[in-house]
Amino acid sequence: MLRSITGKPGPSGFGSASTAEQVTHGIDGSNLTAIVTGGASGIGLETSRVLAMRNVHVIIAARNMEVANEAKQSILKNNKNARIDVEKLDLSSIRSVKSFADNFKALDLPLNILINNAGIMFCPFQLSEDGVEMQFATNHLGHFYLTNLLLDKMKETSKSSGVEGRIVNLSSVAHICPYKGGIRFQKINKKNSYQNKLAYAQSKLANILHANELSRRLQEEGANITVNSVHPGLIMTPLMRHSALLMRIFRAFTCILWKNVPQGAATTCYVALHPSLKGVTGKYYYDCNEYKPSKLARNEALAKNLWDFSSNLVNASLKT
């Protein structure tokens, strides 16, 4: 906590005050292609901008194509050589996820980096078009399915290029306070016991569990792909539109803990690009340094159960 307040660098040489540009300084990503979900606004946009600055070919995956194209133009305005493309993706829709993956594969591009950044927060109870609670559907299930659909492409890329693939799941420190037991497998869609903050925390716990289980599976098969999760920090972005007043009040009392957007994108960019993390997988990062997540987030049995549960939800959605 003290390190976060003071901005003092940790073992990585970076800390809470570091920006995405600083943590990627000197890195050349000209041979890399990355997908950034939710890359059109907030820390996703800053992540896309900085990756493009480091010569990475960035695919912005976004639900709102108008906003995505505006984001592309804003990046190109200051970096005319940026390689930026946009593709439509609604993570709350299994069919949209499948369509995005098909469209991306049709481009016949390599895929080195997948940043599962998009998310929603503290929204009122709602079911997705597939009948799944919206925060769980958007923050976890869509990314779970998207990652599975793109894994073969990432494996092909890492094998043919010899360059390690990296998957980054954006989680949150909120993962420490989900519903009792972590994931409500039997009550995932129960409206009468829904609590928006606990549901958000549940989805962020799921992001870490997903990363850990996928990391284990990829290590088991010897794939040259790492999977890690990150907490970007407290940043006022459009993610907080459902709780703007509450967050402003909270920020007034905790102002020294909050980051700006360039600082908020730093940990994502560090984990996605920095050479010091070569071969590092199944870890959780905050302020560009490794931290230990909650006990539930380290529960291997829970991670395996979540994997099976998520697979069943996706399969059920595809049949409807």
Reading the block at residue 246, the tokens are: 């509450």
**What is the pLDDT at residue 254?**
43
Instruction: Report residue 319's pLDDT band, with 50, 70 and 90 as the boundaries.
Output: confident
* b/e per residue 119-153 (b: at least 16 CB within 10 A): bbbbbebeebebebbbbbbbbbbbbbbbbbbbbeb
Reading the block at residue 3, the tokens are: 């390190």
Residue 224 has pLDDT above 90, yes or no: yes
Summarised one tens digit per residue, pLDDT across range 244-299 is 555 454 444 444 456 999 999 999 999 999 999 999 999 999 999 999 999 999 99
DSSP 182-230: B--TTTTT-STT--HHHHHHHHHHHHHHHHHHHHHHHHHHT-SEEEEEE
Name the burial class of residue 34, with classes exposed (0-12), middle (13-18) and buried (19+) by CB atoms within 10 angstroms of its CB: buried
Summarised one tens digit per residue, pLDDT across range 14-50 is 999 999 999 999 999 999 999 999 999 999 999 999 9
Residue 2 has pLDDT above 70, yes or no: no
Q: How far apart are CA 128 and CA 150, in angstroms?
A: 22
Mean pLDDT across the chain, nearest whole number? 93
**What is the pLDDT at residue 247?**
44
Contact of 164 with 276, CB cutoff 8 Å: no
What is residue 239's DSSP assignment? G
Choosing from 145, 179, 194, 291, the catalytic residue is 194
Q: Which distant-in-sequence residues (6+ apart) come within 8 Å of 81 by Cβ? A: none
Residues in a beta bridge with 133: 127
Work out whether strand 234-235 and strand 225-231 pair parallel, antiparallel, or are unpaired.
unpaired
**What is the pLDDT at residue 190?**
96
Q: How far apart are CA 154 and CA 307, in angstroms?
A: 20
291 in catalytic set? no
Residue 243 has pLDDT above 90, yes or no: no
Asked which of 55-59, 146-150, 231-235, 248-252 is least confident by mean pLDDT, the reply is 248-252
Instruction: Report residue 8's pLDDT band, with 50, 70 and 90 as the boundaries.
Output: confident
Q: Which of 96, 138, 99 is nearest to 117 (CA)?
A: 138
Q: How many residues does the chain have?
A: 320
